[in-house]
Chains A and B, each alone.
Chain A
């Protein structure tokens, strides 16, 4: 019966799920980067950039969120399955928001 359970060996074909422990050094660097990002976004809000103010603010927020997802939430060190799941979720999110907004943008096209 024992040969039936040889797959119980954690190393047989499951290398992707091996735990990768992210250490304090990495967390510290990401924490510092998030603080810099926060300072930048506050600073940018005091600059007059017209229509670019929200664009810059959202861009910085996206960079900060990506750092949190990749390092604090360990996605950089996760399996392809996890990466694909998060990517697919983000893609669906952008489809939903993008299509909703495109409807509002295009309905009164040319009338503004």
Chain B
């Protein structure tokens, strides 16, 4: 009897109920159900990779076109804050992985504490991002009507530009730093939005976990959230060197 025949002849309750309630009837086993859910999650994440890929491609092309502006723009970012944020995010990926392991091995306390740690690290990341955005706001580096090229046409007036040894730039090229900051805010902003969505989901998961949830073996949500959180980490793994690091020298 092949599996297709089983799928078409099995009516809703044509067999003994020796399986947990969360196992849907159209799946052969819980493993198959879990893999189907993960497969769907991966398809979603692949569309997300395409989405961020468009932003990365735009960044690479504009960086080649307006290279001096992009170098000067990236000198405005703090490597210290960026590195610390990378540390926070990688650690949060580790704590989330531990959360998934705790759920798989039915460790209630382990799951709750892993989720709390992931939540705190995620919020910490956004907090530092806020500090960075605030500095951009104060220096008029937010693209739009109030954008100022002061730091780039007159680098000696700007602490960061001075420290990096920037040379004064012509107005034409200095204006292109606005393109750098547009892409900076688009990329880190979309990344931050994904973090905010992740933190909201984390809160819901923590709420359920504290009340003894995910201890019955039905942990697809925890596993798939883990995939999402690691994906957000991967985006930052590429954002950090591209935005903060690769123009240090020029």
Contact = CB atoms under 8 A, between A and B. Distances in A.
Interface of B is mostly: helix
A34 B38 CA distance: 24
Contact of B98 (A5, A27, A54, A57): A27
A14 B28 contact: yes
Contact of B53 (A8, A44, A82, A93): A93
Interface stretch (B39-47, B177-185, B188-196): B39-47
B90 A38 contact: yes
A53 B14 contact: no
A89 B35 CA distance: 17
A109 interface: no
Given A5-B15, A17-B35, A45-B79, A10 B30 contact: yes
A60 B42 contact: no
A23 B168 CA distance: 54
Interface string B230-242: 1101100110111
A6 B237 contact: no
B249 A21 contact: no
Interface in A16-75: 17-19, 21-24, 27-28, 30-31, 34-35, 38, 41-42, 44-46, 48-50, 53-54, 57-58, 60-61, 64-65, 68-69, 72-73
B245 interface: yes
The number of chain B residues touching the other chain, given as a range, is: 35 or more
A106 B5 CA distance: 55
B15 A8 contact: yes
Contact of B242 (A21, A44, A57, A73): A57
Interface in B213-250: 226-227, 230-231, 233-234, 237-238, 240-242, 244-246, 248-249
Contacts of A86: 42, 46
A111 interface: no
A21 B105 contact: yes
Given A22-B101, A24-B101, A53 B246 contact: yes
B150 interface: no
Contacts of A24: 98, 101
A31 B91 contact: yes
Interface stretch (B56-64, B140-148, B151-159): B56-64
Given A21-B105, A96-B53, A104 B61 contact: yes
A61 B28 contact: no
Interface string A68-110: 1100110000110110011001101100110011001000000
The 10 residue pairs across chains A and B that have the minimum distance between CB atoms: A89-B46, A10-B29, A57-B241, A45-B245, A31-B94, A17-B31, A54-B246, A27-B97, A72-B230, A45-B248
Interface of A: 1-8, 10, 14, 17-19, 21-24, 27-28, 30-31, 34-35, 38, 41-42, 44-46, 48-50, 53-54, 57-58, 60-61, 64-65, 68-69, 72-73, 78-79, 81-82, 85-86, 89-90, 92-93, 96-97, 100-101, 104
